[in-house]
Structure 1
Amino acid sequence: MSKNLKTGVEKRDTDQTKLFELLGENIEHYDNYMVIHGNAILKNKDAYIIADKIIYNPTLRQARLQGHVRIYKGDTLSVYTQQATIYLNINFGIIRPFYIQDTKTGIWTNAESANQQKMTYRFAHSIVSGCSYTNPAWRINASRGYYSQENKTLALWHPKIYIGDIPVFYSPYLRFSLENERTSGFLYPTLGSSGTDGFAYIQPYYIAVQNFWDMTLSPQIRTSKGVGMNFEFRAVDSSNDKYLLNFKYFYNFNSYMQRFNALNQHVYGFDFKHSKRNVIQKYFGAKTKLDNGMFFDFAFMNDIDYMRLNDIRYYLNTTHYTSKINLFAQTTHHYFGVNMRYYLNLYSPVNATTIQDLPHIQYHKYMGTLFIKELLYSFNYQMKYGSRQQGFSYLSSEISLPVGMQFSFLNKYFSIGAWLNAYAGNIYAVNTENTKVYSGINSQTPTQLNGQVGNYAYLNYRISLNSDIGKKYNKFFHSLQTSIIFNSPIESAFFSNGIINKSILQGFANLSTSQLERIQNGEDIWDPSIFSGLNQTLKRLDINLANYIYNNKGNEIFYWKLTQSFNFNDPISYLKIPMENKIGTSPISGLYLNASVFYSWFYNSFTEVGLNASYIKDSYAASISYYLKRDDTMWKNDPTTLTFQSVDATNYLSASFRGDLGYFGFVADIAYDFKSKNIINIGFGVYKDIKCFGVGIKAGSNRTPILSQGNSVSIIDNIYVRAEFKFVPLTSFNYTYRLRPKVEERSQQ
């Protein structure tokens, strides 16, 4: 029997909730089944299904869908196939052939068949890709898998990634999130090989159980080096303040220890970062408008290798790591802070000679009026405790009280200021038995430091003249700012004794750059410059000039800053401090040119030069930099025969380029040290990005330090080749191969 009906079958639950509904233009009824033709539709609570024909068995509650089957979830087409079987009593279905595509990411999955249980599809012998269905640039073949439409996750067992028909990666299991949401599972591994580490494999596993915290466990193995584990924990509290904690451990094999004479077989450490404002209000419930906060950036490591445990390609470009703890509270008139600094020398097996700031306590009274509104003052107090295991440690207290007046004239284009600063402080030093000191005008040889206590008090006056002039032209605006500042102690009001007497201060002021570097490198030499108040005892004139040019849009297109200082306490020349010039311009969008030049009138030559040019526009980015620095030790003592010894200069050039040249992209970088006559870093590569796939290859070399037994550092010159693959929109991974390294031994300073 055949007839036209709008509704063929409607089934309701015991509570009269509609379970499913069958509709079609033509419905044929038979003994045990019915057939729906023409715009055949099946609707239930989870899906809206359209097919050419639906065969429904009411006894089995089975619906067989045939011909152009389209399954919609909400307004989204989730499955398109030629036939499917759905069991309506248990919300179960069989789909053959199976094809599903995520509309947001474009990721599609194709399999011979799949079964559906509620919102999850399980399938076998599948193909997954984000490229076109015909001849995809990349694909993943898997033995089995599932797709959860509710969680937007795709899981695959024994997946093999192909580029064209070439297999490039295999994993026992992969799990993807097709939405930008936190989901537990394996992340893509880091792969590589090198002459030092062998084959390296880092496999992160991401855990996100609750919304306010997550963590990542990353076991790793480097076949020629050792095994280890990285742990990262991240959390957000109720105030939306973030916490980040890392623990890392690595065990070096005995063969690696013997090959490189490495210092530590067990490499370990941790680092912690956190910041928070309004701590008193959040933690203690105080009803106050007091601005307060804290900041933590603290790390400990027993080896420089700790810095490289996250990534086999990590290039270390710093010699120290500074841990910081800052606590503060302030009002509109007062500030109180506690700061601690812990300095790790990454190139030294021990940190015993580094002075640590534990802690630095400061109180500051902001600028206010005294008696009359024209008379201004502020107040500052500092207490510092500097401690180390080897060499002197100290405890100091300092106060400063500046009082002065500032007047403007000529319609506020100019201003003049006069200030009187009162300074006082004392110092107590311990462990000074082996401490050396430079004293006197011609301080070339250090002597033994006698005593542990020092005090000082003095008055300092400052006179300043400032101007701020601006003028608008047709297409740009010019601003000119100048200042002349004369600062001098009042000699009759200067007092110092003990380990900061005048002879010691004079000796330190005349030290050469090489002598200062000995102090900075941790030698037990007395350093009075650590007391900020003593830095104000110089008779000095500072001249500053600054020019700025802005276009009609308010963008800075040119600047020039000039600074020249005269030290009238220098017994050799008032002009030993070089003149500083900083010039920069951006004549066109994306192009930036700047230079920093220090010229010494005393030496009649440049003492420091920094040049930089960069261009960024669309897919192009290029830069080139040059840096030169000279110091006093490179000049002969006789001013009439000054000559420059360029072999001792810090002198290097670096350049980089990245751009899409149409058929392919190109990237390159290089750094050359003129002092050592070595290329310290070089790399070049090509890459190609298409809509769903990208591939790149880069080759180069860099220099990596390793702490060695004894007081030395091994510098490894690594030559590497790195291949990178991008599988859009899933992820990208790369493989780095390092050739047999060249090892260079260096003594630790």
Structure 2
Amino acid sequence: MNLKTISIAASIFMVSSLYAQPSIKKFNENQQAVFEFLADDMQYSKTLVIGKGNATVINLDYLITADEANYDTKTGEITLIGNVSAYKGNSLFLKSDSIKIKMQENYSFLEPFYLQDSASGIWVSADEAEFNDTIYRTSDASVSSCSINNPIWSLKASSGEYDTQKEWMSLWNPRLCIYNMPVMYFPYLSFSLGFKRKSGLLYPLFGNSRDDGFLYSQPIFIAPSNFWDMTFAPQVRSKRGAGFYNEFRFIDDKDEILWLNLGYFANKKDYQERYDLENRNHYGLQLKYERKDLLSSEDSYFYEDGMHADISQVSDIDYFRLQNNNAEDKADLQGNLLTSRFNYFLKSDSDYIGLYARYYSNLEQNSNANTIQTLPEIQYHRQIDNILVDDLYYSFDYKITNYTRREGFSATQQQVYLPFIYTKEVFDDYLNLSISPVVYATAVDYSRSNFDSGRYVNNHYVFKANTDLMKSYDNFGHTINLEAKYIMSGFDYKSGYFDQFFVLPGSDDEVELSIFQSFYDNDNNLKLSHKLKQYYYFIDNGEKIGELESELEYFYDYHWRFLSSIFYNHTEARISEATHQISYTNNDELSLFFGHFVRERFAREDLSQWRFGEANYINAGFYKSFAYFDVFANIGYDYKEDYFKTWSVGINTQVRCFKLGLKYASEVYPTLTTRGVEARDDKYVLLTLELMPLLKNGLKIGS
């Protein structure tokens, strides 16, 4: 308790009046009240002031209440007796039967002792404690966050120290007890009771599997400064090898976080040979950072700029699987394709300049030499602006892109896109009509190939009609958007070679029809939404009619949700791709879902939307919470190949201070071998234990 600021220069004893409690106040040299002693009844005897009934001591940091308090004005010692409670801020800090405070020495003796951290819920109880300056020293202490009367778990130590300034607890010879039964012993244990960043050991991870052997990982948290910290996590797998992962976090002057993760794991030679792994060593680096206003200011022409970096470079997929910080979730990984990207832009009211880079890693291939990269792409865009007459607008876009790879041809493409747009509202603004002549030109120059440079110039026209309608009925509201777009080709010049990788817009006539409608209840809650889209192509060879796209989402109430997405192929007269999912949630008590996804071989490919390849699987799961435990299960089943991609069942039990979980699961995951990617099945049992908020640990046992 910090009472060093209390001045002994001034002391005023105020006699009881009809409407005020008797009190004593002390002031510092700036005449600020740094100590106040109040009670319902006060008596003065020589150097002793005795306060009875709602005795209260207030200083700059604490408020202490008791049944009775005695203040010795000569020694500066205060003794509080009976139901003593100390409050720090608005939270209970400690309880005791008696406290002695020597204001000049900042020292107190507490017997019996009880201290609780309101933020974490951790309490410390002991027969007696001493408080000197900023440190409590206890003997025969108990620590827990459960009910003090009969705690489910507790740490019982022969002695302990709590540093109030550092919010750090140290225990000697602690025993972990479940109820009163000791289950684990430590010679020494220390931990933080606050939320301030402090260096130290984090919870270790244990595991065992048939393939990798015994696993031990010990994360170490290092926080040397307010603006950065790191987590260093070495690990050992007895049959496989050893390695480390290092996670850095930096915060800049605008509170943006730069996250950096790097790691290395070395397999034993016999392990690599046994499983025929392509790589003996797994390594990688990940970086995520974004920032606005690096170079721009509100007074400059380009008043806004920004940068976004999401970089992941790894040796193979095992780099992610060997660590425990969910690094895979932070990577742009779609199937087997890992994408790194860097974006920077400058923006004004009229102009936009962008610099982009993309690097793709195919993690299912032993070499990435044939994968085409976008390094870099530069764009200039003139924002849409009025020209010549009302309702006539234009914009301009220029882009140069360098497509490169180590093996095979590379290419540089330049593109110019210049649309003019005339738009008009008709029929009292119920219908919007627009016509847009568009000039498009592109030039492609190849390197490391015999291809002739490609040149393409085109002008085409875009005609569009759309309407937005809304109407309220007695029991619901309805909005609908109807749009028809017709692209008509015009002048067209083409020479040289264009790989199928390049898309040439405006070369063929096409029509796009779309409908989007929504239904709302009287409280303006969305109940149903439906989208329809259909393409028609006017071409001599190939598909004349595109896939019909339909997406329906229905909310029965606050609990039930149904989603259906269908692509229908007219040529095959069959559904080419479909997604169906139904889900139910009831707060935290019950949730369940069932989903189905299918994509046929003849489905239209769209790499930008990750529509490629054949797929057939079902996923389902549920979670149910009971009074004292929760149960859950989920499956992912490929019904065409007849195997479970993943499944798990488990049970959790949790009370306020204790959580125990048991899960049995199976996951099929890819591994890069010298023969390419092969699937491996990982079955394991995961036991998790949480002594909240002190300990969270897991034991993973694999087959």
**TM-score band, normalised by the shorter chain?**
0.7 to 0.9
Question: Where does residue 528 of structure 1 map in the other structure?
Answer: 500
Q: List aligned pairs for 1:61-460, cutoff 5 A.
A: 78-82=93-97, 90-157=105-172, 159-165=174-180, 174-281=189-296, 287-288=300-301, 290-311=303-324, 318-432=335-449, 450-460=450-460
**Which residue of 543, 549, 566 maps to 2:513?**
543
Question: Where does residue 627 of structure 1 map in the other structure?
Answer: 597
Q: 1:332: how far off?
A: 2.2
Question: Where does residue 719 of structure 1 map in the other structure?
Answer: 683
**Residue type of the partner of 1:673?**
D
Kindly indicate whether residue 691 of structure 2 is the aligned counterpart of residue 738 of structure 1: no
Q: List aligned pairs for 1:461-480, cutoff 5 A.
A: 461-480=461-480
Paired residues of 2:49 and 2:73 also in contact (CA < 8 A): no
Q: 1:54: how far off?
A: 7.4
Paired residues of 2:69 and 2:78 also in contact (CA < 8 A): no
**1:117–1:381 distance in 2 versus 1, CA, 3 Å:** same
SS at match of 2:223: strand
**Residue type of the partner of 1:737?**
K
Task: Report Cα offsets for 1:407-455 as digits up to 9, x if no partner.
Answer: 22111222222222222111111223xxxxxxxxxxxxxxxxx524111
Paired residues of 1:402 and 1:420 also in contact (CA < 8 A): yes
Paired residues of 1:529 and 1:535 also in contact (CA < 8 A): no
Q: 1:247: how far off?
A: 2.0
Count of aligned positions:
667
**1:56–1:470 distance in 2 versus 1, CA, 3 Å:** closer
**1:104–1:361 distance in 2 versus 1, CA, 3 Å:** closer
Q: 1:121: how far off?
A: 0.8
SS at match of 2:677: strand
Most deviating of 220-229 and 388-397: 220-229
Please list every run of 5 or more consecutive structure 1 residues that lacks an aligned counterpart in the other structure: 433-449, 501-526, 635-647, 741-749
Q: Distance in 1 between matches of 2:470 and 2:90?
A: 61
Task: Report Cα offsets for 1:470-501 as digits up to 9, x if no partner.
Answer: 222122221222222222322xx32212213x
Task: Report Cα offsets for 1:569-608 as digits up to 9, x if no partner.
Answer: 2625413x22111111112113221101111222111111
Q: 1:372: how far off?
A: 1.8
Q: Distance in 2 between matches of 1:57 and 1:546?
A: 81
Task: Report Cα offsets for 1:226-266 as digits up to 9, x if no partner.
Answer: 32222222222222332222222223233432332333333
**1:156–1:200 distance in 2 versus 1, CA, 3 Å:** farther
Task: Report Cα offsets for 1:525-554 as digits up to 9, x if no partner.
Answer: xx4333x4x143232121112221122333
Question: Where does residue 496 of structure 1 map in the other structure?
Answer: 494
Q: Distance in 1 between matches of 2:423 and 2:49?
A: 96
Q: Distance in 2 between matches of 1:479 and 1:633?
A: 31
Paired residues of 2:628 and 2:655 also in contact (CA < 8 A): no
Residue identity (%): 29
**Residue type of the partner of 1:696?**
G
Task: Report Cα offsets for 1:157-179 as digits up to 9, x if no partner.
Answer: 55444433566666665544434
**1:102–1:313 distance in 2 versus 1, CA, 3 Å:** closer
Paired residues of 1:548 and 1:559 also in contact (CA < 8 A): yes
**1:370–1:80 distance in 2 versus 1, CA, 3 Å:** closer
Paired residues of 1:454 and 1:498 also in contact (CA < 8 A): yes
**1:148–1:457 distance in 2 versus 1, CA, 3 Å:** same
Question: Where does residue 569 of structure 1 map in the other structure?
Answer: 539
Q: 1:106: how far off?
A: 3.0
Task: Report Cα offsets for 1:679-718 as digits up to 9, x if no partner.
Answer: 111011122222322222111111222222x142242211
SS at match of 1:656: strand
Paired residues of 2:66 and 2:81 also in contact (CA < 8 A): no
**Residue type of the partner of 1:497?**
S
Question: Where does residue 693 of structure 1 map in the other structure?
Answer: 658
Question: Where does residue 560 of structure 1 map in the other structure?
Answer: 530
**TM-score, normalised by the number of residues in structure 2:** 0.84
Paired residues of 2:301 and 2:348 also in contact (CA < 8 A): no
Q: Distance in 2 between matches of 1:632 and 1:77?
A: 68
Q: Distance in 1 between matches of 2:30 and 2:343?
A: 63
**Which residue of 680, 700, 719 maps to 2:645?**
680
Task: Report Cα offsets for 1:351-372 as digits up to 9, x if no partner.
Answer: 2111111011111122223322
**Which residue of 595, 599, 605 maps to 2:564?**
595
Most deviating of 201-210 and 600-609: 201-210
Q: Which has the higher helix share?
A: 1
SS at match of 2:408: coil
Q: 1:383: how far off?
A: 0.4
Paired residues of 1:217 and 1:229 also in contact (CA < 8 A): yes
Q: Distance in 1 between matches of 2:649 and 2:291?
A: 43
Question: Where does residue 8 of structure 2 map in the other structure?
Answer: none
Paired residues of 1:280 and 1:286 also in contact (CA < 8 A): no
Question: Where does residue 605 of structure 1 map in the other structure?
Answer: 574
Paired residues of 1:707 and 1:714 also in contact (CA < 8 A): yes
Most deviating of 550-559 and 129-138: 550-559
Most deviating of 381-390 and 144-153: 144-153
Task: Report Cα offsets for 1:629-667 as digits up to 9, x if no partner.
Answer: 112399xxxxxxxxxxxxx95210001212213342121
SS at match of 1:303: coil
RMSD: 3.7
SS at match of 2:319: helix
**Residue type of the partner of 1:148?**
D
**Residue type of the partner of 1:110?**
S
Q: Distance in 2 between matches of 1:35 and 1:406?
A: 88
Paired residues of 1:37 and 1:54 also in contact (CA < 8 A): yes
Q: Distance in 1 between matches of 2:415 and 2:49?
A: 96
Most deviating of 604-613 and 311-320: 311-320
**Residue type of the partner of 1:592?**
R
Q: Distance in 1 between matches of 2:37 and 2:470?
A: 78
**TM-score, normalised by the number of residues in structure 1:** 0.79
SS at match of 1:377: strand
**Residue type of the partner of 2:643?**
N
**Residue type of the partner of 2:560?**
L
**1:145–1:321 distance in 2 versus 1, CA, 3 Å:** farther
Paired residues of 1:274 and 1:296 also in contact (CA < 8 A): yes
Paired residues of 2:628 and 2:654 also in contact (CA < 8 A): no
Most deviating of 64-73 and 176-185: 64-73
SS at match of 1:259: helix
Paired residues of 2:617 and 2:639 also in contact (CA < 8 A): yes
Question: Where does residue 7 of structure 2 map in the other structure?
Answer: none
**Residue type of the partner of 1:610?**
T
Q: 1:146: how far off?
A: 1.9
Q: Distance in 1 between matches of 2:305 and 2:28?
A: 61
**Which residue of 661, 664, 667 maps to 1:702?**
667
Q: Distance in 2 between matches of 1:544 and 1:43?
A: 71
**Residue type of the partner of 2:121?**
G
